[in-house]
Amino acid sequence: MDAKDFKILHELDEYTRISTSLLAKKVGISQQVAEYRIKALQKKDVVYCFATVINPFSLGYNPYLVLLRFDPNINLEKDHLLKYLANNSYVYWSGIIGGKYDLMIYYLSKDFDELKNNLSEMFNKFRNSFEDYEIIPIVQLNQFKYAHLGEQVSFNYNCIKEIEKVNLDLIDLKILHEIKTQARRNIVEIAREIGIDFRTAKSRIDMMKKKGVIVGYKVYVRRQLLDFESYKVLISLKNYDLSEETNLFTYLNSHPNIIYGHKLLGGKWAYSLGIDAKSSEELQHIILKLRLNFKSIDDYEIFPIFRSVNVDHLPVSKLLINQLEKVKKT
């Protein structure tokens, strides 16, 4: 990794769908070298996903944060568990963590009953592997930039629950499925693969942006390979104040080490943060400064991330496509 690689990462994070020719111009290299460097970053797993950020609330899905503690008496195959979660049609992200809990999962479900069914399936498959768990509904998702990769830039993809549900057809879902983890794919290629013309594909994507289904694009970087450690931090409040919450999210958005902030509903915890830090000492400094700026913060809990699966903003896409195709055949 040299300065040009970091500049490439910064530009991709600024706008993931930037053309390779414009990217090359901004970095000061040829288009061929830019293409080579992007592929090299992917091959090294520094870049693991060019994601389309999709608002799950717009499609009638609610995100839930699930924390689980392993039973120490059971020899659980963690690789097997992560593979199962990576292939689960309802898992947005999951990871092995440290602290009070051992596993963190972000589920997407239409309702609490569907979530319980998914959890029951996992409990049956990995029988007696868990001794405790906690479920926390998420009502707002805020995704920020990797500001520590380059210049400080304000950036916020905001997904909130108070949005009208959008009904998508089979073509819309197929488009989303193709671009959800490949946001840089050429629209012409996607249209050809689905069997529609370019104008139709482009107008469908524009429609989904306008209705708040697609809220942006995001490059996902394996920060551990850049000497950063990733942490999940849960925060509770002494009292809730809407104006302070607005200031809090503004602060989180401007902080170079904070990559997301989620608003939680019910229970002890009010917010879930994603923080990158070079060391535990730097993490402590970040949290102390956060508490100094926001006196309403009461308690917090830190979970270091040891292993994780890749992010999928719409894990249910293939399932929904199969359902609509069955309906179409009948």
Residue type, 254: S
Q: Is the same domain home to 251 and 154?
A: yes
Tens-digit pLDDT profile for residues 104-139: 999 999 999 999 999 999 999 999 999 999 999 999
Apex CA 189: angle with CA 184 and CA 190, to 5°?
A: 75
Q: Is the same domain home to 37 and 166?
A: no
CA–CA dist 304, 287 (Å, integer): 14
Q: Is the same domain home to 56 and 39?
A: no
Quick one: 117 exposed, middle or buried, by C-beta within 10 A (0-12, 13-18, 19+)?
exposed
CA–CA dist 111, 127 (Å, integer): 24
The mean-pLDDT minimum among 123-132, 150-159, 180-189, 262-271 falls in: 150-159
Asked whether residue 151 carries a pLDDT value surpassing 70, the answer given is no
The label of the residue with tokens 């390979």 reads 225
Give the pLDDT score at 146: 73
CA–CA dist 82, 95 (Å, integer): 7
Q: Is the same domain home to 188 and 236?
A: yes
- Contact criterion met (CB below 8 Å) for 312 and 88: no
44, 60, 79 - which closes a domain = 44
* Number of structural domains in the chain: 2
Tens-digit pLDDT profile for residues 204-214: 999 999 999 99
Give the pLDDT score at 53: 92
Q: Is the same domain home to 81 and 17?
A: no
Q: Is the same domain home to 77 and 179?
A: yes
Is the pTM of the predicted complex or chain greater than 0.85?
Answer: yes
Would you put residue 47 in left (φ > 0), alpha (ψ -120 to 50) or beta? beta
Tens-digit pLDDT profile for residues 278-321: 999 999 999 999 999 999 999 999 999 999 998 999 999 999 99
CATH at residue 2: 1.10.10.10
Q: Is the same domain home to 34 and 162?
A: no
Three-state secondary structure readout of 42-76: HHCCCEEEEEEEECHHHHCCEEEEEEEEECCCCCC
Closest CA to 129 of 85, 64, 65: 85
Give the pLDDT score at 148: 56
Q: Is the same domain home to 111 and 247?
A: yes
Lookup: tokens for 258: 């904070």
- Contact criterion met (CB below 8 Å) for 290 and 298: no
44 vs 152, higher pLDDT: 44
Q: Is the same domain home to 24 and 125?
A: no
Lookup: tokens for 80: 């097997």
What SS3 state is found at 98? coil
The DSSP code sequence of 170-237 is: HHHHHHHHHHSSBTTS-HHHHHHHHT--HHHHHHHHHHHHHTTSEEEEEEEE-GGGGT-EEEEEEEEE
Give the pLDDT score at 161: 72
Closest CA to 245 of 140, 135, 155: 140
The label of the residue with tokens 């870049």 reads 47
Q: Is the same domain home to 171 and 255?
A: yes
Lookup: tokens for 135: 């479920």
Q: Is the same domain home to 40 and 99?
A: no
Give the pLDDT score at 276: 93
Provide the residue range defining the domain that includes 14: 1-44
| 304 beta partners | 231
For range 74-79, the mean pLDDT: 90
